């Protein structure tokens, strides 16, 4: 009747029970409309079992990504993936799926014959059956599974143990990364009194960034150079151990002849290393020369070009 989503589910067993599933019931009315409305996958709401959140995922015409034909596919998904990631956990559980025979008022139960627990972790948070039941068998009115276009599925999940796994990291390289530009117009530059100024927040690579400018310099550029940096604008949202690799260019535009002053660099941005740039970006002597075009009518045009090329997260 049912074939496993993974060969690790060695032997599949079925049985009949009059008891309803104790953890979750999914009733679907007008089942045929799923296919007619091109709904290839339905995810249930979350339910709790064993102190964790789960959900069912049903493919009414089979999971095409796994080349399933002529069968319904049904899976149990660990819904609280954030807890797995944050705590480096894996959760072991035994589960059973139910299908109501409405004619006989009992349930077909599909489960692992050996009652072997399954590991749910950050790299695999789903287990179940590619071929849960043949569509022809399911649709046959004499079997009682689909009556008046109504069917009822169910699940029971029993957590057997929790294991804290070792640390890990997932590096995601970004294919065809897109460069984002932001121009910051600074007016009344000569009247900037404070030590530090920053641009409005802008987005690049799904991250928030800002330009930091020190008109009187900072660190070893203090008193002689303008200092300028690119910084993460919202590093508090980064999870511990996460990092972002970005290639960036900072420019002060030459407003007269387009001979811009530019610095290019790459950096791994983290919660503890939120900025990168230059303490000596341009000397006062050069910046304030009228012929350089850096400052025209007391306006300075600053530009940042950012390309996020990779993101690494702990796991």
Q: Is 206 helix (H, G, I), strand (E, B) or coil?
A: coil
The phi and psi torsions of 5 (rounded to 5 degrees) equal -70, -25
Q: Is 34 helix (H, G, I), strand (E, B) or coil?
A: helix
Question: What distance lies between CA 194 and its chain's CA centroid?
Answer: 39
Question: What is the pLDDT at residue 10?
Answer: 53
Question: What is the pLDDT at residue 165?
Answer: 63
DSSP string, 96-137: EEEEEETTTTEEEEEEETT---EEEBTTB-EEEEEEEEEHHH
The Cα–Cα gap between 138 and 130 comes to 15
User: pLDDT 10s digit of each residue in the chain, 315 long?
Assistant: 554 443 345 578 899 999 999 999 999 999 999 988 889 999 999 999 988 899 999 999 999 999 999 999 999 999 887 666 555 678 899 999 999 999 999 999 999 887 788 988 878 889 999 999 999 999 999 999 999 999 999 999 999 988 776 666 778 999 899 999 999 999 999 998 778 899 999 999 889 999 999 999 999 999 999 999 999 998 777 777 789 999 999 999 999 999 999 999 999 999 889 999 999 999 999 999 999 999 999 999 999 999 999 999 876
- Residues 6 or more apart from 19 whose CB is under 8 A from it? 107
The predicted model scores a pTM of 0.56
């Amino acid at each position: 009747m049912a074939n496993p989503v993974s060969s690790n589910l060695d032997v599949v067993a079925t049985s009949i029970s009059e008891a309803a599933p104790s953890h979750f019931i999914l009733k679907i009315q007008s089942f045929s409309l799923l296919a007619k409305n091109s709904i290839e996958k339905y995810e249930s709401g979350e339910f709790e079992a064993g102190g964790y959140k789960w959900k069912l995922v049903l493919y009414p015409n089979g999971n095409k990504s796994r080349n399933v034909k002529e069968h319904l596919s049904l899976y149990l998904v660990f819904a609280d993936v954030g807890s797995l990631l944050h705590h480096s956990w894996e959760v072991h559980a035994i589960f059973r799926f139910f299908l109501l025979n409405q004619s006989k008022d009992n349930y077909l139960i599909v489960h692992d014959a050996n009652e072997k627990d399954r590991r749910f972790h950050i790299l695999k948070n789903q287990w179940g059956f590619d071929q849960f039941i043949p569509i022809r068998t399911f649709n046959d009115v004499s079997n009682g599974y689909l009556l008046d276009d109504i069917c009822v599925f169910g699940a029971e999940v029993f957590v057997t143990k929790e294991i804290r796994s070792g640390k890990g990291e997932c590096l995601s390289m970004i294919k065809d990364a897109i460069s984002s530009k932001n121009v910051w117009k600074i007016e009344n530059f000569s009247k900037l009194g404070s030590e530090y100024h920053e641009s409005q927040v802008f987005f690049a690579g799904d991250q928030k960034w800002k330009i930091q400018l020190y008109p009187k310099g900072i660190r070893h550029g203090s008193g002689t150079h303008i200092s300028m940096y690119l910084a993460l604008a919202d590093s508090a949202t980064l999870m511990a151990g996460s990092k972002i690799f970005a290639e960036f260019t900072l420019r002060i535009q030459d407003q007269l002849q387009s001979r811009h002053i530019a610095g290019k660099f790459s950096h791994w941005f983290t919660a503890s290393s939120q900025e990168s740039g230059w303490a000596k970006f341009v000397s006062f002597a050069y910046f304030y020369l009228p012929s350089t075009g850096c400052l025209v009518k007391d306006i300075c045009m600053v530009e940042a070009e950012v390309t996020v090329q990779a993101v690494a997260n702990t796991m």
